[in-house]
Amino acid sequence: MNLRTAMQPEPDAGLPVEVLNDGFRWMRFSGGLEQRFLADGAARRLRYVTISGALSLLVFLGFLPVDWMMAGDVFPMALTLRLGVFTPVAVLLLLIPFLARDWVLRHIPPLVIEAIVLISGVCAAACLAFILSSSQSPTRQYYHVGLMVVVMYGNMVQRLRFWYAVAFSLAVYAIHLGAMLMVPAHDERLVLPLAALLAASVIFTLAANWALERDERRRYLLSLRRRALLDELGSVNRQLQTLARVDALTGLYNRRHFEEYLERAWQRAHRDGTALAVLMLDVDHFKAYNDRYGHPEGDRCLAAVAEAVSACLRRPGDLVARYGGEEMVAVLPLAGAEEALQAAERIRRAVEALQIPHAGSAASRVVTICVGVASVRADGLAAATDLVELADAALYRAKQAGRNRVAGGGFDATPPG
């Protein structure tokens, strides 16, 4: 198993910081970040507007006594508008997300929900304006302050997205002006003060809405940054843990990891009564190779050999590690003697097939290896280190027999020719 890894930061890890630094003056993120912001907050936003919408409907119906006091001459019509027209539609709109929340989140874009909230607020304002326009009560003119409550509903209670809040506020203000212009005022002196009061309500609630959404967006960016930092930190920690177990030159696991892995594999094999094999590998006459070609070439040679060895051992659970110097070691769980010897011979042939010139070798004109094989049932050994000693002894026999060969358990494989 070859584990050459590279530490690369997440591609968008710095994006939240960039947006925080640059700001979002138009209350909108650039690119796909805006859609991500809306999508991430869709469920929470839907729940909020549903609950606040239900409370607002109760307040809307709570103004029926005020209708009776301020526009008593058209109270039956007000009752019909509030209870017979507006309320059934509002209840239906509130029940849909309550009964089919997942469907709404999947099929209705977040901004469509904002538009529905906007329209519901405008309809509430239109109901009030229609009641005022139809009434002949001398107190009806004072009832225009009720539109301030409607503005507060959209901008502060439902907290429409800022630009939707702007459109909503302008629509409500236009309804107010239209109602004032269409119906003669009972007291002309109240026209300007009422218009100014509503304008002030619009300005102040929009300012508060802007600040609330700005803070929400900043919190979202900070949460993204925190998430990115945690992900990056976790990735770096995992990579550091891996690098602490990997040999930098060959990309193989190091001896420390091999020993820990072998101990776990041995305990598992001992518990299950299964076979476990260890292969010890050594590059033939590697010191002579370094002396003749230099250490940089020696490093490249070891890396090539390591890659060839790894390519030959692809079973789940197989592990290859650098044991030290030019020695490598492999662990083959569930491998009996015959299978382990076949794997060792496959590795030996693969290294020889690299055809790396080695004029200083007494075994061949190219780089070759010796492989010592030990495969036993784990319950026949006292410790995992016994298996390593058996493989090391087999490696010694392969060297003594002339190198470029596999040895183990009385078996001595000599390369053909």
Residue 10 domain-assigned (yes or no): no
Kind and range of the H or E run holding 166:
helix 162-182
Question: 56-69 pLDDT, tens per residue?
Answer: 999 999 999 999 99
- Give residue 15's pLDDT: 58
Instruction: Assess whether 272 and 401 both reside in one domain.
Output: yes
pLDDT of residue 108: 94
User: Residue 14: its pLDDT value, please?
Assistant: 52
* Chosen domain end from 198, 231, 264: 231
52 and 158 co-located in one domain = yes
Query: Do 404 and 287 have their domain in common?
Result: yes
pLDDT at residue number 11: 44
**Residue 4 located in a structural domain:** no
Q: Burial code of 218-253, b = ≥16 C-beta within 10 A, e = fewer?
A: eebbeebbeebeeeeeeeeeeeeeeeebbbeebbbb
Three-state DSSP at 44 gives helix
* Pair (263, 306) in one structural domain: yes
- Structural Rg of the chain based on CA atoms: 40
pLDDT for position 82: 94
Q: Is residue 169 part of a domain?
A: yes
For residue 16, the model assigns a pLDDT of 60
Residues 300 and 388 in one domain: yes
Read off the CATH number of the domain in which 276 is found.
3.30.70.270
Q: Of 215, 231, 247, which marks where a domain is finished?
A: 231
Whether 105 is in a domain gets the answer: yes
Whether residue 289 sits in one domain with residue 334? yes
Question: From CA 276, how far away is CA 299, in angstroms rounded?
Answer: 31
pLDDT at 6: 40
Residue 236, in any domain of the structure: no
Confidence at residue 261, expressed as pLDDT on a 0 to 100 scale: 92
d(C-alpha 413, C-alpha 417), whole Å: 12
State both tokens at 177: 């002006």
Report which secondary-structure segment, H or E, holds 52.
helix 42-62
The Cα angle at residue 120 between residues 116 and 122, in degrees rounded to 5: 115
Classify residue 245: in a domain, yes or no. no
**Stated pTM of the model:** 0.62
- The reply to whether 150 and 268 lie within a common domain is no
Is residue 247 domain-resident? no
In Å, how far from its chain's centre is CA 130?
Answer: 51
Q: What residue type is assigned to position 156 of the chain?
A: M
In this structure, are 222 and 263 located in the same domain?
no
Residue 128 shares a structural domain with residue 75 = yes
Which of 194, 215, 231 is the C-terminal boundary of a domain?
A: 231
Task: Determine the residue type at 132.
Answer: L
CA 131, 132, 133, 138 dihedral sign is: positive
Same domain, residue pair 326 and 179: no
| Calculated CA dihedral for residues 217, 222, 228, 231, nearest 10 degrees | -120
Q: How many domains does the chain have?
A: 2
Whether residue 287 sits in one domain with residue 215: no
Q: Are residues 406 and 318 in the same domain?
A: yes
Burial of 390 (0-12, 13-18, 19+ CB in 10 A): buried
Is 242 part of a structural domain of the chain? no
Which domain does 334 fall in, by range?
Answer: 255-413
- The pLDDT profile of the chain, 417 residues, written as one tens digit per residue, is 444 434 444 445 455 656 655 666 788 888 788 999 999 999 999 999 999 999 999 999 999 999 999 999 999 999 999 999 999 999 999 999 999 999 999 999 999 999 999 999 999 999 999 998 888 888 888 888 899 999 999 999 999 999 999 999 999 999 998 888 777 666 778 888 889 999 999 999 999 999 999 999 999 988 988 888 888 888 888 777 777 788 889 889 999 999 999 999 998 888 888 889 999 999 999 999 999 999 999 999 999 999 999 999 888 889 999 998 899 999 999 998 999 999 999 999 999 999 999 988 888 899 999 999 999 886 666 688 888 999 999 999 999 998 999 998 633 344 433
Within its chain, how far is the Cα of 255 from the centroid?
34
